[in-house]
Amino acid sequence: MSNPILIGYARTSTADQKAGLEAQLRDLKGAGCAKVFQEELSSVSTNRPQLEAALQWVRQGDILVVTKLDRLARSVADLVAITETLRKKGVELRILAMNLDTATPTGKLMLNLLGSIAEFERGLMLERQREGITKAKAEGKYQGRQPTARRKAADVLRLRAEGKSANDIKEALGISRASVFRILAEN
C-alpha cells in the first residue's frame, strides 16, 4: 500500500480570527498535508460545506488532520458521526495539538474521552453565559441587541418626507420593507 495522504481541515468561528486560521493553515502544511479544506464559520452552524467536502474527498488509507479537536466537532455526537464516517471509509484522524492518532487503540480511546470532556466544558460555559445574562438583565445592564432598522428611523422619516417610496427607502438604508412600514406606522 502506498503512503497515506494527509488531508487538512481548518476552521475559525469568524472572519475576525484571521490569525487563528493562518496558524492552523501553517501547522497543517507543516504536518505535510497535501490538501487543506478551510472555512470561517461557527461550529454551531449546521452546514459546514468545507468539512463535508473534506469528508467526501478523503479515500481509504488517507488521514484527516486537524490542529485541535474543537476545530472539527461541536459535540460528542458530532465527533462520533465524523469518526464513524471516517472509519467506514478507512480513513484515520490525527489531531496535532494532542499528538493523537486514531490509527492506535489508545488514540481512539483518548479521542472519545476528550470529546466528552470538551462537550462538558462547552455546556458549563454556556450555562455560565446564561447566568451572566440573567444577572445583567436583573441589574438593568443588559438590553440585548438593538434592532438595526429602528436606529435608522430618522432616516426613514426623512426619506419619506422627501417623497421616496418604501422600496426606495428599503434599498437606500439596507433594511426590510416591513421595517420601513413599521417605522412609518409608529411615527
**Residue owning grid cell 430618522:** 154
Which residues, at least 6 apart from 162, have a Cβ–Cβ distance to it below 8 Å? none
Q: Where are the beta strands (DSSP E) in 96-179?
A: 100-101
Query: Residues 2, 13, 116, 165: which is the catalytic one?
Result: 13
**Active site (annotated) includes residue 13:** yes
Is 115 exposed, middle or buried, given 0-12, 13-18 or 19+ CB atoms closer than 10 A?
buried
Catalytic positions, written as ranges: 13
